[in-house]
Amino acid sequence: MQSIIAGQNLKTMKQQQTAAKLSPLTILLLTFFAFQANAQTKVQASDIMAAMKNGETINYSNVTVTGVLDFTYMDEKSPDLPRRRSWWSNMGDNTVNEVIEGKINFENVTFEDDVIAYFRNDRSEYTFTADFEEDVTFKNCKFEKDAMFKYSEFERNTSFSGSIFKDETTFKYAEFTTLADFSNTQFDEDAIFKYTEFDSGVDFSSARFERSLDIKYVKVRGDFSIKDLYVRWDIDSKYSSVNGKKFTKDMLNN
């Protein structure tokens, strides 16, 4: 018993000696940098939106984004819009579009709240959308809530490779000018690509759809990579085409 107590005392003395070698300033700096490293893992969506508004390049990796990331800026625009649209009901649509001019790059980023490039306000009857002029990358990201990209136009390189969509998502009516990369993605809810246009091909290789995949009316021009694609439930491919030819489920076996 005495030997055990002696060993514990010796261990305690060594720990005290090690701590004594560190100056108060060193300990303070270590504590500060440890706090900074932890703080930097959280990024406010509002800060990202402010940078985008200035046309800045957005580049984040290994962080968690908190708050709704709204590419449409609907909260900012709504107060300036007419409350009623009866005066224009027969003169045009009610879409309010935002153009994101800078590059977007997210890698290994978790989005805790909604990511919105589309929102329909049934009360005001306005539809808010967002288009992207430069490269858009969401690589190995996790969307914990909704990811809405309905009607979005992607004019440059676009990749969602390796990303996980945990909740509702839609790319309905979206248009991709260059090759769209959805390889190794995972959709936990129904995935909507209805009426989507892929002007220069799409890569769905090793993509995993845990429920249904809707590619009805989809048009693909260029490469259509679907090796090892997995769909747990149904694929609705009615009226979809690949390079002018009708899409058939037999293509999944090729």
Residue 81 pLDDT level (bands cut at 50, 70, 90): confident
Q: What is the model's pTM?
A: 0.81
pLDDT at 248: 76
Q: Do both 2 and 83 map to the same domain?
A: no
- The arithmetic mean of pLDDT across residues 111-116, rounded, is 98
Domain count, the chain: 2
pLDDT band at 80 (very low <50, low <70, confident <90, very high): confident
What contacts 102, CB < 8 A, 6 or more positions away?
51, 52, 55, 56, 57, 58, 134
Which of these, 146, 182, 149, 179, lies nearest to 163 by C-alpha position? 182
Q: Are residues 30 and 60 in the same domain?
A: no
pLDDT attached to residue 8: 45
Mark whether 62 and 183 lie in a shared domain: yes
pLDDT, tens digit, for every residue of 37-61?
A: 444 599 999 999 999 999 899 999 9
- Please report the pLDDT score of residue 249 as a whole number: 67
- Identify the CA nearest to 139 among candidates 176, 168, 169, 104: 104
For the segment 204-227, the average pLDDT, to the nearest whole number, is 96
230 and 145 within one domain = yes
Identity of residue 84: R
pLDDT band at 122 (very low <50, low <70, confident <90, very high): confident
Residues 57 and 105 in one domain: yes
The answer on 78 and 18 residing in a single domain is no
Verify that 17 and 47 share a domain, yes or no.
Answer: no
What's the confidence (pLDDT) of residue 167? 97
**Do 59 and 3 share a structural domain?**
no
Residue 252: pLDDT over 70: no
Across the range 156-177, mean pLDDT stands at 98
Specify whether the CB–CB gap between 226 and 250 falls below 8 A. Answer: no
Helix H, strand E, coil C: the string for the chain is: CHHHHHHHHHHHHHHHHHHHHCCHHHHHHHHHHHHHHHHCCEEEHHHHHHHHHCCCCEEEECCEEECCEECCCHHHHHHHCCCCCHHHCCCCCCEEEEEECCCEEEECCEECCCEECEEEECCCCEEEEEEECCCEEEECCEECCCEECCCCEECCCEECCCCEECCCEECCCCEECCCEECCCCEECCCEECCCCEECCCEECCCCEECCCEECCCCEECCCEECCCCEECCCEECCCCEECCEECCHHHHHC
What's the mean per-residue pLDDT of the chain? Answer: 85
In a shared domain, residues 27 and 134? no
Position 7 pLDDT exceeds 60: no
**Residue ranges making up the domain that contains 96:** 43-253
Query: Would you say residue 85 has pLDDT above 90?
Result: no
Residues 100 and 216 in one domain: yes
Highest mean pLDDT among 17-26, 86-95, 122-131: 122-131
Q: How confident is the model at residue 124 (pLDDT cuts 50, 70, 90)?
A: confident
Tokens representing 250 are 């037999």
Phi, psi angle pair for 160, to nearest 5°: -115, 20
Q: Residues 91, 32: one domain?
A: no
Is beta strand 118-121 parallel, antiparallel or unpaired with respect to 126-132? antiparallel
Q: What percent of the chain has pLDDT over 70?
A: 78
Indicate whether 239 pLDDT > 80.
yes
The tokens of 112 are what? 């805790």
**93 shares a domain with 1:** no
Q: Mean pLDDT check: name the lowest of 205-209, 217-221, 241-245.
A: 241-245
